[in-house]
Amino acid sequence: MNKQTRKLSVFSLAFVFTTLILLCLPKTDVYAAKAKVSNVTQTFSTTETIALSWNAPSEIEHFTVYISEFQNFPEYATRKSLTYDTKDYIGELEPNKTYFVKVLPYDNNITYDFSDVITCCTNPEIVTDLSHTASTTSSVTVAWNAPPSGAEYYNIYYIPCGSYGEKIYAGTTANKRFTVSNLAPDTEYNIYVYSAKKSQHGYEAEGFDSYEPFCATLADAKAFSNFKLSRYAASSSTATITFDNNCRNQDGVEIEICTLAGKKIKTIKGNWTYSYFDFSSNKIKNTGFKYRLRSYIKINNKYFYGPYTKANVVVAHPKVTATKKSNSSLKLKWSKITGAKSYTVYMSKKVTGKYKKIATVKTNTYILKKLKPSQDYYIYVKANNVKSGNKKYGSTKPKHQPIVNVCYSKYSKKVKNYYTTYVNN
């Protein structure tokens, strides 16, 4: 072997040996550094800002965030943000917008891969002109206008006024009107509406709330109880109804007066503190009436009414007049009550004494016998079997019972009739 051939063999052996050594060495970190940034996630938003975070190999210290309204990231419409952390805040954005984002690890010596592209979004602006528009005993309805930049949908929450707990989620709608249901009657609520938008990757950008305070539900019929006929002067067509009013968040109370046949006579409104109604009508003279109550709330000059109470039926007591028949008898005559089939006469010697049933007659006259002159007699007459609907009723016993006080003398033909009332327990 000549000298030149020996030199080539040495070089060949050296090359092979070096190659074997390199193949046996472990892989370097260059390959690990080329791994993608992963798990890019939107973590926060305002109307002008988004926040991001991601995972990356620990040796990577520089990142460039690309953001654009276009998925192909054109140079003229793409912003770049350099950061030294695995998170970034990007501002000066527009509200209710969707943006495309990708992250590129940055190093002067190594070329890396981009992360996967994700969508992010900014918050919509606050809704405008939120207002209470309707109520029932178990719901309130609100309406609003969309924010200037629009919104994809709206989240609605509520909380009872005076409560300091967490807001209660009521629902989501794409409309600009929503009814919050399953509420308690006669209760005020604060209603909150949040404009919202959701990215394709599931992040919900929810704006600031707009809220409408003191949205009251209507009171149900249970708010009224202990109904009483306080006064009813049938011959003068006036009556007073009293009741317990337990309403707390209503604008007022309305009473409806109807004939015994159910034809409406009138309605009267009073404020929410009312616990009685005085009224008069010729249509209740010498007959009777039905009445029922309900609460109301006035919203934007429109009345919303709660359910009526059960109708209460009132039948009049006749007005009684006594004339002298003899020294020991009096003739009673009374006004006829429309629809009455008979009348029962009651009498006592004391205004606060026990009233004894004297007789039941089908006419509107009766003669009292075996009386003593100069003795006071207290008399009232009850009408019977007055029909209203499918039932029959007698004269309603009022708190202030109308009676006639009769006193006469055997020396005089005239009989004094004093009209008074007796307070029933």
**pLDDT averaged over every residue in the chain:** 89
Is the dihedral angle over the CA atoms 272, 257, 240, 292 positive or is it negative?
negative
The pLDDT value recorded for residue 425 is 59
The pLDDT value recorded for residue 281 is 94
pLDDT of 331 above 50: yes
The pLDDT value recorded for residue 282 is 93
Asked which of 36-40, 360-364, 412-416 is least confident by mean pLDDT, the reply is 412-416
Strand partners, 42: 52
The pLDDT value recorded for residue 35 is 58
In contact, 133 and 177? CB cutoff 8 Å: yes
Instruction: Give the residue from 39, 144, 154 showing the smallest Cα distance to 96.
Output: 154
Return the structure tokens found at 245: 């009013």
pLDDT of 87 above 80: yes
Rounded to whole angstroms, how far apart are CA atoms 266 and 256? 6
pLDDT of 158 above 60: yes
Amino acid identity for residue 387 in this structure: K
User: What's the mean pLDDT in 37-52?
Assistant: 96
Asked which of 5-14, 179-188, 413-422 is least confident by mean pLDDT, the reply is 5-14
Strand partners, 36: none
The pLDDT value recorded for residue 22 is 42
Percent of the chain having pLDDT more than 70? Answer: 91
Per-residue three-class SS string for the chain: CCHHHHHHHHHHHHHHHHHHHHHHCCCCCHHHHCCCCEEEEEEEECCCCEEEEEECCCCCCCEEEEEECCCCCCHHHEEEEEECCCEEEECCCCCCCEEEEEEEECCCCCCCCCCCCEEEECCCCCCEEEEEEEECCCCEEEEEECCCCCCCEEEEEEEECCCCCCCEEEEEECCCEEEECCCCCCCEEEEEEEEEEECCCCCEEEEEEEEEEEEECCCCHHHEEEEEEEEEEHHHCEEEEEEEECCCCCCEEEEEEECCCCCEEEEEEEECCCCEEEEECHHHCCCEEEEEEEEEEEECCEEEECCCCCCEEEECCCCEEEEEEECCEEEEEECCCCCCCEEEEEEECCCCCCCEEEEEECCCEEEECCCCCCCCEEEEEEEECEEECCEEECCCCCCEEEEEEEEECCCCCCEEEEEEEEECC
User: What's the mean pLDDT in 91-95?
Assistant: 96
Instruction: Give the residue from 122, 89, 90 showing the smallest Cα distance to 196.
Output: 122
pLDDT confidence band for 57 (50 / 70 / 90): confident
pLDDT confidence band for 233 (50 / 70 / 90): confident
pLDDT of 309 above 50: yes
Strand partners, 267: 256
Which residues contact residue 138 at a Cβ distance below 8 angstroms, ignoring those fewer than 6 apart?
181, 182, 183, 184, 185, 217
> For 76-83, which contacts have Cβ atoms below 8 Å and span 24 or more sequence positions?
82/106
Rounded to whole angstroms, how far apart are CA atoms 180 and 169? 10
In contact, 345 and 381? CB cutoff 8 Å: yes
* Higher per-residue confidence, 42 vs 106: 42
Chain centroid, CA 194 distance in Å: 19
Q: Within a 10 A sphere around the Cβ of 230, how many other Cβ atoms?
A: 16
Asked which of 75-89, 288-302, 379-393, 410-424 is least confident by mean pLDDT, the reply is 410-424
pLDDT confidence band for 290 (50 / 70 / 90): very high
The pTM score is 0.82
pLDDT of 210 above 80: yes
pLDDT of 8 above 80: no
384-408 pLDDT per residue, tens: 999 999 999 999 988 888 888 888 8
The pLDDT value recorded for residue 9 is 52
Percent of the chain having pLDDT more than 90? Answer: 76
* Higher per-residue confidence, 247 vs 108: 247
Q: Which residues of 281-312 are buried (b: 16+ CB within 10 A; e: fewer)?
A: eeebbbbbbbbbbbbbbebeeeebebebbeeb
Q: Mind listing the domains of the chain with CATH numbers?
A: 30-121 (2.60.40.10), 128-216 (2.60.40.10), 221-314 (2.60.40.10), 320-423 (2.60.40.10)
